[in-house]
Structure 1
């Protein structure tokens, strides 16, 4: 996985989008012959004076931080602080690494130490406030907040985001201190900040529900304040139940798209259906409220077009304040995955399982991340566990099928897609991807008649899917059948995805099969330009050059293909034969022989 990193003034930047989709996306490169299977800029880096003793651990810490190896960075920053514990840059860097790696108690200890030894940084003060909230020290929390706001560089100069965060922490602290009226007034004042109304209304609703004003809470939550996230949905269901409106709560849940894929909501619905009055457990203490403040900010920062570097910090603080808050553990896991910290992410997923919160969305995210981290065996085990725990979940079976297919266990993948398609039999449009994926698995298992039926069925649902058009067209070309139709299918795929190297290769190969060698040259050259490291594409380029009369160039391409290590011994031998004997002789020797599908020729 590629990741982009910025200097660690506070935190490494998370750049990979969170995985949230109906099914693992099909690559345009899915095809019979090849199935789907940073640098740092120091310009903004503060200049830290390096004594002889501090240079080693500091540089090791910085490199670990740039690699997003938070645990290693925390270790070496700790060594550096042991030699110079007063440098604010080192303090913040150590704090970031400790928090990011989940070492919250150590982070609190460091934050408290820096506050007594020197002027505490903003991050240190944030951790101190979190500690006060966790311990229920509301007076101390509010006093520290007032002290921060009184600082010359803070007073009257807070930007909107800082003002909102500080204000919401204070509003919950007021509730913790027993000043409910002041707390409600504080939330209502914050709601006037431009752009903050929906966010603040949600927390105001939670605060009102916490003090027993469920009518007011429901009014606020019904105004879209609870929409879009599971925490708000659960909170509103609990509020409605407290108002003896279980039927309305059930209707709200039933109106949600894909409610059947969220076991927590299904369990909630079952309790409502039994007539149980749900307790309002969304907020047990004001510290839970502050945890949700941090979750609100973390979620917004993580889902923005350019994910903010503080998202993981916010999520970690949320789980520190409310250890049973599954959403915080899930978001931390996803953010850790996005920077390649899979071991730390696994700790968060394990925590979710300990909480009895094995949610499909979390497990699907985990499976996807493990697959991208080139850990197929772990990913397959996770997919098997998910399908065992939730056999009714079509996406689990699709994920399992994809993993098996990516490991070239094509025959084993087919039954997984069978299960998914059976579960999706009443959801026609949702069937296109497992039909397409099963078609690939069947084709690679030498069951082309069945594969063709699946691919055509997928195309009927998604007639403008470039990957499906390409795969079906190339499959026909590869078998040298229905070439006119194959060409039309691939030409349409090119129209839809004109810069896709695999599709351009398919177009060139269709021209080749039709004997239109000169027409094949241009799209093949474009394919090689975009996929210069693909042995099969280079091999195809050689064949086309040969048939177009450019035999020296053909030999160069075959040599190139051979140097890129073809997938199979059969492919490698065939290229060597072409180099030694020429393509004409190889084709003549193959006449009448069974097609070698592995060679893709």
Structure 2
């Protein structure tokens, strides 16, 4: 596998948050989140075993700050254990506590127990202090690193030697630095990555022609940092038009504000400075970033990816790409509060990236952190008000929190931005807005959206089902509703929600015997859904199977219906039967009166 620098999207999923529910309106989950209490500081534990075990548990849960504190507590009992020291160092760097990590690395070195990670931290400190010759000497006198990861050609040895090459440049030995990079390019599989850094080094010393020749190779420069560097280099060579063409031909160009801004500046005739690398420390930061990106490229990222990303950010705090990779890794490890610090830093740098933000919103949503996701979506729509995907994401998040009336304007904005002639691109926001309108009690408008969505995608089972069930639930156009749902069943014959809709349509039409089979299939597919079990009870009752109906109602109660009204209705059916409930609802305009609160019940 060839090493490459960070890809253009740095691993951010381009897919939009999957937020439109495919279930009928009464089947939607509550989607409510109990606010998390602020994390308490790690309690002090006595002895060695207590803190050590607590640290191990925190590390397993990726709770880096807590793990670091417990490892340090354990070290207070035994400050000679190299394993405890290295574990604490891993946790401190992962948590972003770089000053404490640096101090611990010095202690480990002074005690003669420096690990590979401790040496890496110390080299980063030397680079940050621009002690370039000391950094060269540190690499030259260090013991050989352990065998590298199979995914990393050259492994830790390659990383050390690339750091050394940048340090040579910092020490004023440009010729030796470039020669070192050229020699490293001979490592099997490492040439694209090494050539990228060689190009940066050449540009740093003014050899723009040589740098451009290297970056023109897609294997070397086809990632966002490479594209930016090449645009700056072309501008220094007075080739602004070529830079504009290169930028506009980059996949994903329109979704990357940095690239669009560069294009606009170039088109105005501005000569861009080469500031992709201001000091060799920036080059070393990009070495760490490249290794972080490679280690994070699998579905299960290597924990070392976060270590390298943190070191990159430490050396180059204003390198947005390093902060983005760090934030995405933290988010993937479930450390959303730490990730938010990095995303906030990106906003302060003015480097919020829309596609990465959409991926972040999606991850927060899947983690059921809906308020955080909504906050991120609001920030995205504020920063990029002309991005329809941002408004769709915001609408979906509002809808998932039952803020249906608030979701509608967000979808309105998205559809206006997409345009009336966009065809298929309008399908999803029309469907999603239809759901929000239906749930907000504006069914005529919702129906219009569903029908418009069906014109764009006539075989959409979810739209057919949602519209059909909505009509059934309102007791309107029942014959058409049945046809819509039957088409949905034909398309997705094993979908429990759609089978429930079909059975309920038969029920509304008084075709109780025909309703039994699809409802039993729905219960089989969705045994833990309270509403489906409740429906099964109603159908059994209407076919004379009263004992079986009561069993289903009891089961529905045990599964905790979504609303208090649904719970009350089931209890009344168990007490007086479905016939009495229907009669009382008919006498009260279609609703079953709720019981009066007790006289001593607390009032709002």
TM-score by length of 2: 0.84
- C-alpha displacement of 1:229: 3.4
Question: Which of 558, 562, 570 lines up with 2:565 in the alignment?
Answer: 570
C-alpha distance in 1, partners of 2:383/2:269?
Answer: 27
Cα distance change of structure 1 residues 174 and 483 upon mapping to structure 2, 3 Å threshold: same
Question: Are the counterparts in 2 of residues 469 and 493 from structure 1 also a CA contact under 8 Å?
Answer: no
Question: Are the counterparts in 2 of residues 442 and 450 from structure 1 also a CA contact under 8 Å?
Answer: yes
Map of 2:159 onto structure 1 = 165
- SS at structure 2 position matched to 1:178: coil
Question: Which of 481, 484, 489 lines up with 1:483 in the alignment?
Answer: 481
> How does 1:79-478 map onto structure 2 within 5 Å?
79-150=73-144, 160-225=154-219, 229-372=223-366, 374-425=368-419, 427-462=422-457, 465-478=460-473
- C-alpha displacement of 1:432: 2.3
Cα distance change of structure 1 residues 167 and 507 upon mapping to structure 2, 3 Å threshold: farther
Does 78-87 or 372-381 show the bigger shift?
Answer: 372-381
- SS at structure 1 position matched to 2:27: coil
Question: Are the counterparts in 1 of residues 361 and 373 from structure 2 also a CA contact under 8 Å?
Answer: yes
Cα distance change of structure 1 residues 541 and 131 upon mapping to structure 2, 3 Å threshold: farther
C-alpha distance in 1, partners of 2:237/2:73?
Answer: 56
Cα distance change of structure 1 residues 181 and 583 upon mapping to structure 2, 3 Å threshold: farther
Question: Are the counterparts in 1 of residues 460 and 488 from structure 2 also a CA contact under 8 Å?
Answer: no
C-alpha distance in 1, partners of 2:166/2:141?
Answer: 18
- C-alpha displacement of 1:261: 3.3
C-alpha distance in 2, partners of 1:181/1:334?
Answer: 37
C-alpha distance in 1, partners of 2:223/2:574?
Answer: 60
C-alpha distance in 1, partners of 2:373/2:366?
Answer: 9
- SS at structure 2 position matched to 1:310: helix
- SS at structure 1 position matched to 2:26: coil
Question: Are the counterparts in 1 of residues 354 and 380 from structure 2 also a CA contact under 8 Å?
Answer: yes
C-alpha distance in 2, partners of 1:279/1:546?
Answer: 79
Cα distance change of structure 1 residues 307 and 447 upon mapping to structure 2, 3 Å threshold: same
Moved over 6 A (4+): 155-159
Does 177-186 or 290-299 show the bigger shift?
Answer: 177-186
Structure 1's unaligned 5+ residue stretches are 1-16, 38-50
C-alpha distance in 2, partners of 1:150/1:253?
Answer: 42
- Once superposed, what is the RMSD of the aligned Cα atoms? 3.2
- C-alpha displacement of 1:433: 2.1
Cα distance change of structure 1 residues 178 and 457 upon mapping to structure 2, 3 Å threshold: farther
C-alpha distance in 2, partners of 1:142/1:216?
Answer: 25
- SS at structure 2 position matched to 1:33: helix
C-alpha distance in 2, partners of 1:61/1:527?
Answer: 43
- The count of corresponding residues between Structure 1 and Structure 2 is 563
C-alpha distance in 2, partners of 1:353/1:155?
Answer: 36
- SS at structure 1 position matched to 2:238: coil
Cα distance change of structure 1 residues 543 and 215 upon mapping to structure 2, 3 Å threshold: farther
- C-alpha displacement of 1:211: 2.1
Map of 1:519 onto structure 2 = 517
- C-alpha displacement of 1:116: 1.9
2:18 is the counterpart of 1:25: yes
Question: Are the counterparts in 2 of residues 509 and 520 from structure 1 also a CA contact under 8 Å?
Answer: no
Question: Are the counterparts in 1 of residues 288 and 312 from structure 2 also a CA contact under 8 Å?
Answer: yes
- C-alpha displacement of 1:98: 0.6
C-alpha distance in 2, partners of 1:230/1:462?
Answer: 36
Structure 2's unaligned 5+ residue stretches are 1-9, 32-44, 595-604
